[in-house]
């Protein structure tokens, strides 16, 4: 199993804190936005005297509530077309295991969420990366790149939209390119849409569930973690119109008995979060994004595209090795007794050697802390021994 590039530096951060250094955490997608009150009340008011197993697919009332939520975004699902999981992570693992045998292949545009590699390893399958560049803002690679990588073992394409780690928001036209490939080659399209609500600059999210002609091919992956700032609840789900697929996935769900019962109580309540919550949250994320993008682009030798979704950026820095740099920040550097914790972007690529001069930044801190963080980063780059220009 590969290490998590997001978490592998935790021991160094802990040591820095022991030395009295304040660490700005820009490495992990853990928002500081408050979990909606309606969800917190559900925990406090839990009435049962026994915390029991639920149905392996998740409690029916939650699945009905999720179906109602999807109706509000023009996606039509029945409760039996949804399987609740321990976070989107487990849903992705179920999807991989249900549609692929050992040594089968899934095509993923890179950089991609690092744990996709871990899920693939767990399922015994192989990730085939398609490179997207920071110069293009991480737009979808040309159709030819997909076509030339399809083999008899290719079973699926996976796309995260809006994207983690880049924040790129795929357009309807880009997703229609994927639809045509899926249709032509009889593949599955796995759509990780956990950041659906977080789109900026007047842009709207276009779901893979809207694509014509491939309703049996699409597997939707979703979660309460980011939408409701409830990462520790560990509730996600997979959804599909393909009954044979869902019957198979349910067997994997039965093998782990059930998703977290208390988490499902919180998730069901969270669906009733008022729309005003998202208005203020999105306004806050736009301010944070603007702070990070402008701050990075003012640093000599650095470059950061302006993403239109999620709450991440991948930035190019004048460094020799992002793994070395991120460790150095925690082990050997402090400015005014502060440092920053970043995620080396090398861990978000499957192609060896890619992302060595890139880092992922999660803009999950308030603006004033982000301003301090970028200033600390700028000072670090002035003295980093592996600076490249």
pLDDT confidence tier of residue 2, bands split at 50, 70 and 90: confident
Judge whether 5 lies within some domain: no
- What whole-number distance in Å separates Cα of residue 374 and Cα of residue 386? 19
Same domain, 136 and 147: yes
Judge whether 75 lies within some domain: yes
Sign of CA dihedral 333, 287, 192, 211: negative
Using a 10 angstrom Cβ sphere, with 0-12 exposed, 13-18 middle and 19 or more buried, the burial of residue 389 is: exposed
Same domain, 30 and 99: no
Strand order through the sheet with 218-223: 82-85, 236-239, 218-223, 188-192, 154-160, 105-110, 126-131
Same domain, 215 and 314: no
The candidate with the shortest Cα–Cα distance to 155, out of 96, 110, 197, 80, is 96
Supply 289's token pair: 């994004």
CATH for 120: 3.40.640.10
Judge whether 218 lies within some domain: yes
Same domain, 145 and 211: yes
Q: What is the pLDDT of residues 21-74, one digit of tens each?
A: 999 999 988 889 999 999 999 999 999 999 999 999 999 999 999 999 999 999
Q: What is the pLDDT of residues 74-100, one digit of tens each?
A: 999 999 999 999 999 999 999 999 999
Structural domain including 226 reads 37-270
User: In the chain, how many domains are there?
Assistant: 2
CATH for 350: 3.90.1150.10
Q: What is the pLDDT of residues 5-30, one digit of tens each?
A: 778 899 999 999 999 999 999 998 88
What residue spans of the chain are helical by DSSP H? 10-18, 37-44, 60-72, 87-99, 115-123, 143-147, 172-185, 243-255, 261-270, 275-298, 322-331, 367-383
Q: What is the pLDDT of residues 246-296, one digit of tens each?
A: 999 999 999 999 999 999 999 999 999 999 999 999 999 999 999 999 999
- Measured in residues, the chain has a length of 389
The candidate with the shortest Cα–Cα distance to 102, out of 35, 143, 153, 144, is 153
Rounded mean pLDDT, 164-177: 98
Which letter does DSSP use for residue 13 in this model? H
Q: What is the pLDDT of residues 204-243, one digit of tens each?
A: 999 999 999 999 999 999 999 999 999 999 999 999 999 9
Last residue of one domain, picked from the residues 270, 301, 336: 270
pLDDT confidence tier of residue 389, bands split at 50, 70 and 90: confident
Judge whether 374 lies within some domain: yes
Judge whether 90 lies within some domain: yes
């Amino acid at each position: 199993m590969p290490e998590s590039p997001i978490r592998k530096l935790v021991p160094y951060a802990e040591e820095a804190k022991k030395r009295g250094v304040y660490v700005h955490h820009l490495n992990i997608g853990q928002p500081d936005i408050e979990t909606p009150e309606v969800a917190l009340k559900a925990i406090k008011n839990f009435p049962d005297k026994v915390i029991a197993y639920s149905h392996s697919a998740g409690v029916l009332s939650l699945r009905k509530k999720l179906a109602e939520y999807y109706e509000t975004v023009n996606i039509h699902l029945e409760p039996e077309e949804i399987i609740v999981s321990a976070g989107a992570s487990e849903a992705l693992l179920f999807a991989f295991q249900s549609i692929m045998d050992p040594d089968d292949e899934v095509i993923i545009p890179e950089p991609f969420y690092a744990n996709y590699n871990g899920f693939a390893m767990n399922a015994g399958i192989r990730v085939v990366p398609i490179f997207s560049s920071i110069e293009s803002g991480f737009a979808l690679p040309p159709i030819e790149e997909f076509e030339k990588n399809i083999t008899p073992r290719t079973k699926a394409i996976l796309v995260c939209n809006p994207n983690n780690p880049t924040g790129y928001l795929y357009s309807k036209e880009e997703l229609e390119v994927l639809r045509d490939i899926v249709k032509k080659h009889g593949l599955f399209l796995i759509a990780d849409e956990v950041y659906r609500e977080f789109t900026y600059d007047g842009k709207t999210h276009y779901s893979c569930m809207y694509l014509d002609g491939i309703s049996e091919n699409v597997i939707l992956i979703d979660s309460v973690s980011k939408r409701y700032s409830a990462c520790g609840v560990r509730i996600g789900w997979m959804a599909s119109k393909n009954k044979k697929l869902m019957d198979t996935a349910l067997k994997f769900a039965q093998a782990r008995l059930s998703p977290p019962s208390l988490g499902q109580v919180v998730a069901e309540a969270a669906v009733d979060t008022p729309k005003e919550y998202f208005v203020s949250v999105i306004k806050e994320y736009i301010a944070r994004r603007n702070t990070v993008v402008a701050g990075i682009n003012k640093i000599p030798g650095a470059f950061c595209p302006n993403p239109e979704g999620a709450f991440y950026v991948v930035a190019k820095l004048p460094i020799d090795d992002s793994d070395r740099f991120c460790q150095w920040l925690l082990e050997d550097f402090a400015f005014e007794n502060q440092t920053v914790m970043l995620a080396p972007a090398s861990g978000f690529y499957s192609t060896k050697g890619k992302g060595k001069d890139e880092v992922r930044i999660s803009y999950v801190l308030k603006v004033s802390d982000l301003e301090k963080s970028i200033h600390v980063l700028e000072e670090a780059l002035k003295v980093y021994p592996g600076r490249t220009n």
